[in-house]
Every structure is written in C-alpha cells, then in structure tokens.
Amino acid sequence: MAPLITPPSPQVIKYESSLLLVILMILGSKLHALYERCLLICSGLSHESHRRDVEQVYLRCSQGSLEWLYPTGAIIVNLRPNTEPSSQHMAGLHVCIKPHTYSQGSHVYLEHSGDLRMLLAEKDQAQSTVHCFSLAEGALFVEAVPQTDISRRSQLSNMSWFTCKPCSDEEVLMAVCTSDFAGSGIFRGVASGTIDQSPAVVTLSRLFHQKSRVFAWGGARGRGWAGRINVPAQCSVHTGGDEYLLTGSVHFGEAWLGCAPRYKDFLKLYIRAQKVETNPCEIDTD
C-alpha cells in the first residue's frame, strides 16, 4: 500500500473491483487555505485472500481520493483536516461522501470507539447520492464484502467537510475573493432535501465571480442570477427580504454555502478595509 500525491482531477482506472474515495475538506470559511489534494492507492492483492487484515490510513489534505483495488479485509480511513488540532474550526465539522455509480465490493461504516454504524451499503452505491456525517462521529471503516469473484469493484467518490460558524471579518473579506462563487442576493426558499442538507433557492442581484456555471442569468425577471445552494442541515437559512453576501464552494457540480453575512454588514466591513488598504481584493459593490 503506497500513497501517491497526484494533480487535481486524477484519472481513475476502472478496475472491476476497487474503492475510490475522493476527499474535499471545507472548514467553514477557511476555504482559501485548504486546496491541497492527495491520492492514496491501496491494493488487496498484497494480502492473502483468507486473511481479514484491517489497515489504518491517514489522509491529511483538503481534497483527495482513496482508491482500493480488489478490496479484502478492511481499511480504517482517519480523516485529518489541514488545520491546527486546537482550532475552533474543528468544532461542528461535517464530512460528505458520494460514491461512484460503478462502485461495488465494500460496505462503508462509521467507526467510533470500536462501534460500527452503517453509512453506505454496497447495494446503495450505484445511486451515487451524497451522505454526510460529523467528524466527531469517528473514522470511516471500509469493509470488503466477502466474495469469491476478485474482479468486483467497490468505489466511493466524493467527500467534503462543512461546518457552520460565524465568519470573522478577515474570513469574510477573504471568502469574497477566494471562494468558488461570491455574490449578493436573497434566499427565496428551501427545497426538500435529505437529513444531511437541503438546497436553498436563491436569486442574486450581483455576481462577483463563479468558478462553475452554478448560477444562471434570468432570475428576478431577467435582472439577476438564479440557482440553488446546498445548506448543511445544521445551518439555518432566513428567507425573505434581507440581502446576503453569498460565498461558498462548488463540489459534486453543486454550490455549497460558506460565509453569508448580511450584505449591508459586509459593505460596511469592505469600506473600512478599503480605507486602511487591508482588503485582499477589489470588487465592484455598486
């Protein structure tokens, strides 16, 4: 078993039996400091088929993946966010995973103090849905399904880290510059989602930038951008007339909420930073 550090978007070789776990770590508003990526490749061919070995692996990066070829035994995946252990951002940290549709050959559990809780069964992986959990709930325990056909494939796809906390002034200023998207707008409503997250319907009157086309022109009778932002279940959304600065990241092809102060509060902060020349970037607030 050997870890490999690769460029962002590594090509995945579709062995008929393997596990892939792509990891995205998002610590509240500290998105700008957490874009290191890593790829760890393991192989069950290095073990005797009759043995039920349990291996420990550690992933300390903001984004990455674990691919387990021909899974046998089990792997405990210890997730370590790339931040100081004493950081307040550890509190309330959540993780989301998404399996590949062609993944098979393993079950995924949460392991804490020797107890296992099923997170994703092998039969459910073809649905490729997002599953979220708190980092405090434990490590990922990935167990190979006992089988005689070594050609079967098990693969997980995406994992993200989310936490809800008030952003500091510095974090807000950095988020508007470095997030995958930033703009101002209102929450129109919250659509039905899962127990882990719900999509909030938004209309943006300003769009400072976006990495992907998650917001489309045409909202508000053609005078704004419309789209949806995934909001973790532990976060609250206030619909109505208040305008917010909306920042966040794009994962799984969808927008996820980051720092979101009221826009009038952000304007005051931005103007103060401009006067003392501490704002990390310039945006058009008109």
Reading phi first (left if > 0) and then psi (alpha if -120 to 50, else beta), residue 121 is in beta
Give dist(CA 30, CA 13) in Å, integer: 32
Contacts for 11 with CB less than 8 Å, ≥ 6 apart:
none
The yes-or-no verdict on residue 61 having pLDDT over 50 is: yes
> Could you tell me the pLDDT band of residue 62, with boundaries at 50, 70 and 90?
low
> Could you tell me the pLDDT band of residue 182, with boundaries at 50, 70 and 90?
very high
Query: Could you state, in order of their start, the residue ranges of all structural domains in the chain?
Result: 2-162, 169-275
Q: What is the pLDDT of residues 74-83, one digit of tens each?
A: 888 887 766 5
Residue 186 has what pLDDT? 92
Q: Do the bridges between strand 156-162 and strand 18-24 make them parallel or antiparallel, or are there none, so unpaired? A: parallel
Q: What is the CATH number of domain 169-275?
A: 2.40.50.120
Give dist(CA 47, CA 240) in Å, integer: 58
Q: pTM value? A: 0.58
Both tokens assigned to 208? 């400072």
Residue 39 has what pLDDT? 67
Residue 33 has what pLDDT? 38
Q: For 105-117, what is the mean pLDDT?
A: 85
The yes-or-no verdict on residue 31 having pLDDT over 70 is: no
Give dist(CA 202, CA 228) in Å, integer: 6
